[in-house]
Structure formats: structure tokens, C-alpha cells
A and B are shown apart, each in its own frame.
Chain A
Amino acid sequence: AQRVTQPEKLLSVFKGAPVELKCNYSYSGSPELFWYVQYSRQRLQLLLRHISRESIKGFTADLNKGETSFHLKKPFAQEEDSAMYYCALQTGANNLFFGTGTRLTVIP
């Protein structure tokens, strides 16, 4: 069975500090991983996906199949990064399984 684990419910960092949101997964197939973000009073939206290998809003995430991890990183946090972040695993049926989310607060 598939599982996505985000160990931190809450994470606070100071503005300008590096930030890392952890995500571990369990899946028997070939994983496709995503990070979704929900800003205050906005709808859930895609931040980035591992197959694109892109940087969005300064965030990057590398899929580590050996450690079954897909941690989200940004070298210098900004106040506008404060939001709820969800890691998600897509199965072969194109269904998404979400983690429980991490609420990031960037302290000015």
C-alpha cells in the first residue's frame, strides 16, 4: 500500500533562513511525487513535481529513491512562503495520495 509521511505538522523559520520540509513515501511502483501548497484563504495548488526537476519560487525538491524521500528545500525563506505544504504521491491510476501537511511559518 502507498503511504506519504510528513513528520512535521508545524515548522517555523526566520526570514532569510534555509527551510526544509520533509516528506517520505512508501510505494511499490515507480513513484511520481508532487508538492502542493495552500496559501491563506486560497485554494490548493501545485508547487512542483519531481519529473520537471524545476525550481518554483526558489523551492526545489529532489527524489531520493534510496531513502524514499522527496524533501522540499529553499535556501532563503521569505514571509510570503508561509503556507500549508502537502507532499503527494501519484499512483499508476493517476490518483494522488497526500501527506498530512506541514504548516510553515516564516518569522519576519
Chain B
Amino acid sequence: EAGVAQSPRYKIIEKRQSVAFWCNPISGHATLYWYQQILGQGPKLLIQFQNNGVVDDSQLPKDRFSAERLKGVDSTLKIQPAKLEDSAVYLCASKTSGSPGTQYFGPGTRLLVL
């Protein structure tokens, strides 16, 4: 089966600019996650979707980050405006709706904010 796809793979922007990341989960996976992985740390959950609804966005910095999954398939994560501390790898993962399930990760988008 095709894996989780993400684009772009790399992005360099200046602080205060905007950026958007795209994720296409594995077909049929109802649950989608966005993680932020700062260098030297483990992935940190930003937001979890179940189909097109938000299940958990408690760790999402909502003053600058937003995410959507309008049709319950693809998802976008946006940062506006970006700060230097947003430099990280942004990972998307998807999982089937059953439990326990396995999260399958995409290759990630590496963001550098200058």
C-alpha cells in the first residue's frame, strides 16, 4: 500500500512569513495526526483529526498555527506568521479507526525559519 505522503520535503522561509504543509494519508485511514519534531527531541503532537473533525488540538499554538482536513482525507497545516522557534520537522501520521491500530508516518517536512 502507498504510504503517507507529505509535501514539500524542505522549506526555508524568513520569520514573519507564512508557510503551509500538505499531507495525504494512507487510503482509508480515518485518523490523521500532525507532529512537530524539534532537533534533539521526540515528536510532539500538534493536532489529531478523526475524519474531518478535530479530536485534540490542545498542543497547537492557535495564535499562529492552523490545520484543516475539510473532506476527511488530505490535510494542511499552516503557520502564520512563522517564528524562529518553529524551525523543526513536521510529521504527518495516519491510523485506521480501530484500536489499537498503528500510526504510519510520512517522511516529514523540514522547515527552517531564518
Contacts and interface: CB of A to CB of B under 8 A. Distances in A.
A17 interface: no
Contacts of B101: 94
A51 interface: yes
Given A49-B100, A93-B48, A98 B42 contact: yes
Contact of B106 (A43, A51, A86, A100): A43
B29 interface: no
Contacts of A88: 42
B3 A43 contact: yes
Contact of A95 (B45, B102, B105): B45
Chain B binding surface SS class: loop
A56 interface: no
Interface residues of A, number: 21
Contact of A100 (B33, B42, B91): B42
Nearest to A52: B100
A100 B33 CA distance: 19
Contacts of A96: 33, 43, 45, 103
Interface string A93-105: 1111111110000
Contacts of A86: 42-43
A41 to B, nearest CB: 9
A93 B41 contact: no
Interface string B26-65: 0000010100000011111100100000011000000000
A16 to B, nearest CB: 29
15 contacts: A45-B104, A45-B105, A90-B100, A94-B31, A94-B99, A95-B33, A95-B48, A95-B56, A96-B43, A96-B45, A98-B43, A99-B42, A100-B40, A100-B41, A101-B42
Interface of A: 4, 9, 32, 43-46, 49, 51, 86, 88, 90, 93-101
Which 7 A-B residue pairs are closest in the complex by CB-CB distance?
A98-B42, A44-B105, A43-B105, A98-B43, A43-B107, A100-B42, A46-B102
